[in-house]
Amino acid sequence: MIEKVNPMHPDKIADRIAGAIVDMVYKNNDFPKIAVEILIGHEECNIIIETSEIIDKKLIKDIVYRITKSKSIKINILIVNQDVHLSKNQDGIIKCGDNGIFRGVPLQNEDLKVSKIAREIYDKYPYDGKIIYNDSTDLIVCQSNCNTDKLRKSLNGYADNIKINPLGDWTGGINVDSGATNRKLGSDMGRSVTGGGLHGKDLSKADVSINIFAFIEAQKRQKPVEIYCAIGDEFVCGIKYSEIVEIARDYIKNIGGFEKFAEWGLF
């Protein structure tokens, strides 16, 4: 059984805003240091950024307006310099940015199926929604702003038991709910296990690069991959940490950036 959350869920909106801010700093620096946390809901967005970069708050506001599709949302931004001790960890050479335990797991048919179904629903109804899928047996869909009867007909054959909006029709989104960065990691990572959040961080952070690396290796080997690391490590699993960062960079680049990565995660 596995869950998938679409890009307009409030938690995913928070992830996407964080990702877009990280994309912005990478345009000016290949090795920025940044960590972004977002709390959004009820027409208010609170943003805390720790970074080595100079960021224009107006550009951040433009990102929030674009992704939320709201010009009336209240935006609070706090930008602080990255801690000096953490910054020194990366002086001169790229080293592991944190401690962590990570487990990459090969995608199964159920993972691929739930991702396909979620994307198909989102193409028709690009509004807040999520689904739970259980190997062709159960499909539970909570989709806002939809025609329930039409959606049910379009999903015939996907599962033996299909439930759509068990509590009735709803509107959803940040007007009626709140969202926070990295709160839907299960939806983004399938059965993988993370030592930290995927979203809102630069590639020096193990939470990002080692998660991606473990996922890629698990798909190659078709078996679970377990990795642990400590802050300051120059090698992880016998591989230069800088090489792991470049593998993750290529993955993010091929997806289309951190904002695109935040839409659906690793699958």
Q: What is the 3-state secondary structure (H, E, C) of 91-156?
A: CCCCCCCCCEEEEECCCCHHHHHHHHHHHHHHHHCCCCEEEEEECCCEEEEEECCCCHHHHHHHCC
Residue with tokens 């910054």, as numbered in its chain? 87
Q: What are phi and psi of 119, to 5 degrees?
A: -70, -40
Q: Tokens at residue 154, please?
A: 């379009």
Q: What is the mean pLDDT of each run of 10 residues along the chain (267 residues)?
A: 97 98 96 96 97 96 97 96 75 85 96 97 97 96 95 94 94 94 96 92 95 98 97 94 97 98 97
pLDDT, tens only, 71-113: 999 999 999 998 877 767 677 788 998 899 999 999 999 999 9
Rounded Cα distance, 10 and 161, in Å:
27
Q: Are 111 and 2 in contact (CB under 8 A)?
A: yes
Query: Could you tell me the domains of the chain?
Result: 10-83 (3.30.300.10), 100-107+181-264 (no CATH), 108-174 (3.30.300)
Rounded Cα distance, 10 and 176, in Å:
9
What is the CA angle 130-136-141, rounded to 5? Answer: 20
From start to end of the chain, where are the E strands?
2-5, 34-41, 44-51, 74-81, 100-104, 129-134, 138-143, 161-164, 178-180, 225-229, 235-236, 239-240
